[in-house]
Amino acid sequence: MDDGAQADLSPLIAGKLDQNVAEYRLETIQGERWMRCDRRLLRDGDGNPTKIVGMAIDFTDERRHIEILEERSRTDPLTTLLNRRGLAIAFSSLQSADGYSVLALDLDGFKEVNDAYGHAAGDIVLKTTAARLSSAVRRQDLIARTGGDEFVVIIPGNRLAGKGAANRILHRLRDPVSIYDKAAIVRSSIGGIWTPVKDDLSSLIERADAFLYEAKAAGKDLVRFQPEEPSTGL
């Protein structure tokens, strides 16, 4: 990102402004630093600009602290995936000319692992699931943990891209999870929809959830993807 415009003194020199505050980055031998500069224009008795005075403050540590807090507010601390807020923010800027698939999934057998081995084992399952989800989709796809063992994946692209991702995830999550030298079987049920244009994210997830419930009712370890609407023709 070019911060040159932030450091530009031209408006002050021209007398268009009497004061401005700029924040910009500097590349130094110590690495990137963030600076905040307060500049003021001094005028003579006739109102003509005479000189500019200012003070620069290095606020790199403050900036990094803010960035860390912002990142934490968008991610799930256990899996490092997006949380609901982070998913909404990322989806708002996601672009695709071919539409979007929204996949809702949860884990079949997760409660049994928690009951048998404890919550620490459950955490292992969740972190393993997060890694497997990441390996099953592309870098531009969005993955979020939205609840205990509930996840949402958004695939920019056409319907086939979404269905393909759902099936890859289903097969990837069939692999046993190693817990305390034992192989735990935890699989997934997946519901998916495709939309040609963006809609309210909560509404899209709710629609995907309806197909998730269909998958669970049909026996679990299944994908239920929104059927393609038949063309009416003329």
> What pLDDT, in 10s, does the model give residues 90-99?
999 999 999 9
C-alpha closest to that of 87 among 153, 3, 6: 153
> What pLDDT, in 10s, does the model give residues 13-41?
677 777 777 787 878 887 888 888 888 88
Q: How far apart are CA 62 and CA 43, in angstroms?
A: 33
Q: What is the predicted pLDDT for the residue at 7?
A: 61
Percent of the chain topping pLDDT 70: 91
For the record, the structure tokens of 149 come out as: 């063992």
pLDDT at 186 over 90: yes
Question: Does the pTM exceed 0.85?
Answer: no
Mean pLDDT rounded to a whole number for the chain:
88
Q: What is the predicted pLDDT for the residue at 230?
A: 57
Q: What is the predicted pLDDT for the residue at 210?
A: 97
Q: What single letter denotes the amino acid at residue 72?
A: R
Q: Which domains, from first to last, does the chain contain? A: 4-66 (3.30.450.20), 77-225 (3.30.70.270)
Q: Which of 76, 108, 141, 149 is catalytic?
A: 149
Q: How far apart are CA 173 and CA 188, in angstroms?
A: 7
149 is known as an active-site residue: yes
